[in-house]
Amino acid sequence: MSQNEKQNTDTFLDGQLLAKMAQGGAAQLHSNAEEVNKLNVFPVPDGDTGDNMRMTIESGIAALENSTSNNLAEVMEKLSHGMLLGARGNSGVILSQFFAGVAKGLSSYSKADAAAVGNALSLGVTQAYTSVMTPTEGTILTVAREAVEYAVARVTPDSTVRTLFSDLVKEMYASLQRTPEILAVLKEAGVVDSGGAGLFYIMDGFYRVLNGDEIAEIPAVEMTKKPVLDLSAFGPDSEMTYGYCTELLLQLQSSKVDVDAFDHTVITEFLEQIGDSIVAFKTGSIVKLHVHTLTPDRVLGFCHQFGEFLTVKIENMSVQHNENEELRQENGRAQRKKYGIVSVATGDGISEIFRELGVDAIVEGGQTQNPSTNDFINAFGRVNAEHIFVFPNNGNIIMAAKQAAEIYKDASIHVVESKNLGAGYVALSAMDPDAESEQVLLDGFNAAIETVSTGYVSPSIRDAEINGVQIRNGDFIGFVGKEMLVAAPDKSAAVGALAERMLADGRYMMTVFYGKDSDADERAALESYMQATHPEVEAYFLDGGQDIYPFILVVE
């Protein structure tokens, strides 16, 4: 490397360098994700912040694949767009919004010096703050803000991008260590803020690249679950009845069409003649397409006149289990309904129960596997309705749902702020397909949420004292929201004690979701306990099949 080039690398941030730094950030977080997961306020094995942030930045990296541009603004825009779509969990959404703000700040730079990058980082902080309804200090927000303020204040005409990131990372670490002083729950649990830690690892990776450190290769990550294939389902004499599930990303090409003016309904109209279950939308210059058809060759041929394919997936639906399921559901809703429902659910039992309650599309995920913004967008695409109500059923998923609602344009999306399974379950019972207006339904859902309290039983993964409850590693703990209520060495004792606490003050109904980790004896014990001690309570016992929590109690 010549002196001149070295100077250049140090002074200016360009597209290729940013791409490398992002790789470094992702790699650094990847190596430390498990540690970030463990920074969990409750001693429950459900921490996911590390995974959420890792998957969010990896989605940004995936968007940079095959990009050879050295234009900073272009690369930053791709990175940030990929992160927006891939954002999971509240920390992932905040991270993606931080990068979106930075991208705005750099949108007119083909390369940028320390001052410009510093300004862009400040914009990132502002956008991260505005993405949260009520910003909480002592979190990723504080860590980002304090570090950026510190680094920007130290920018001089002699600063380089490397010195900027050196200051940034140094202060970010210090700020992270201060989070327990600001947020009592962190102090009580003896941890630093997990989102802040995730951001630190990413920025640390950025800095390491600038510093010339070796960065580890990121192991290839499977971003989406592989569907179950049963190849024996289609043989030499099979008849093609289901057709092919055909999905593609089409990059519109200026050489073929007027990219900005292109209206994708041209494609939709064509597809209607040769297929069904059509979902198509255009984001920027890319058209995303999903169709079930007997003639995928015609789909490709038709679309090819407008651009080139980024990805193409064609699967025979006779061998593709998930798609058959989807097809079966889709056949039932050819007509555009007034109201549709998308709900997050985890566990076969819970998904089935939610479907019975009228949910049109399930977004897989929950406590340990938060769905991404893009997972929501895909689910919206599977629901043919004027208004779509979204039930995130987890406080850490609400932001990704809202981010998806912002991006999606083909229906009016209403995110119901259901923060747990019980809230979603009870609110869904207020669904009325004949409701006068979406507002009436929203009011009903929100009123229903208010009446519910949801308690979780889980094994503890460490000793702790929370809310004055003494917990030993391996105990079963029972908590409602952020309130730790009971701990006991015995699972049945814990669930009984939790039920007692929750049934105070005249509650009259309890629904229990049995998880994978509760056996028949424990279930029977709970049922007879309820009958013996609370015959006045209407109790329902459902097989939820959820992980982690052997029992979830929903009390109304």
Partner 1 sequence: MSYVILTDSACDLSPEVLSSFGVAIKSLTFRFTDSDKEYSNDEMPVSEFYEQMRQKRVARTAAVNTEIFCEFFASYLKEGNDVLYLGFSSGLSNTYNAARLAAEQLAAEYPERKILTVDTLCASAGQGLLVKLAVDRKNAGKTIEEVAAYVADTRLHICHWFTVDDLDYLKRGGRVSPLVAMAGNLLGIKPVLHVDNEGHLIKVGTARGRRGSLLSIAQKYDELAIDPAAGTVYISHADCRADAELLAKMLKDRHGVEVEIITDVGTVIGAHSGPGTLALFFLGKER
User: Residue numbers of the site for partner 1 (CB under 8 A)?
Assistant: 356-358, 426, 429-430, 432-433, 448, 451, 508-509, 511, 538, 540, 542, 556
Name the minimum Å distance from CB 201 to partner 1: 44
Give the nearer residue to partner 1 in terms of CB position, either 416 or 548. 416
Name the minimum Å distance from CB 276 to partner 1: 24
Cross-strand pairs, 191: none
Q: Are 25 and 202 in contact (CB under 8 A)?
A: yes
Nearest to 102 by CA among 148, 140, 56, 62: 148
Give the nearer residue to partner 1 in terms of CB position, either 464 or 510. 510
Name the minimum Å distance from CB 415 to partner 1: 22
Name the minimum Å distance from CB 332 to partner 1: 12
Give the nearer residue to partner 1 in terms of CB position, either 31 or 451. 451
Give the nearer residue to partner 1 in terms of CB position, either 142 or 454. 454
Name the minimum Å distance from CB 451 to partner 1: 7
Q: Are 147 and 117 in contact (CB under 8 A)?
A: no
Name the minimum Å distance from CB 554 to partner 1: 9
DSSP characters for 371-429? Answer: PBHHHHHHHHHT--EEEEEEE--STTTHHHHHHHHHH--SSEEEE----SHHHHHHHHT
Distance CA 540, CA 225 (A): 33
Distance CA 191, CA 185 (A): 9
Give the nearer residue to partner 1 in terms of CB position, either 413 or 448. 448
Give the nearer residue to partner 1 in terms of CB position, either 358 or 545. 358
Contact residues for 494 (Cβ-Cβ < 8 A; gap 6+): 457, 475, 476, 477, 478, 486, 487, 488
With H, G, I as helix, E, B as strand and everything else as coil, classify residue 96: helix
Distance CA 487, CA 470 (A): 7
Name the minimum Å distance from CB 411 to partner 1: 22
Name the minimum Å distance from CB 431 to partner 1: 8
Backbone angles phi, psi at 505, to 5 degrees: 50, 55
With H, G, I as helix, E, B as strand and everything else as coil, classify residue 189: helix
Give the nearer residue to partner 1 in terms of CB position, either 343 or 403. 343
Per the listing, tokens 């308690």 go with 455
Nearest to 142 by CA among 163, 103, 171, 116: 171
Name the minimum Å distance from CB 556 to partner 1: 5
β 509-515/538-546 pair status: parallel
Give the nearer residue to partner 1 in terms of CB position, either 246 or 511. 511
Distance CA 232, CA 320 (A): 11
With H, G, I as helix, E, B as strand and everything else as coil, classify residue 446: helix
Give the nearer residue to partner 1 in terms of CB position, either 260 or 536. 536
Cross-strand pairs, 512: 541, 553
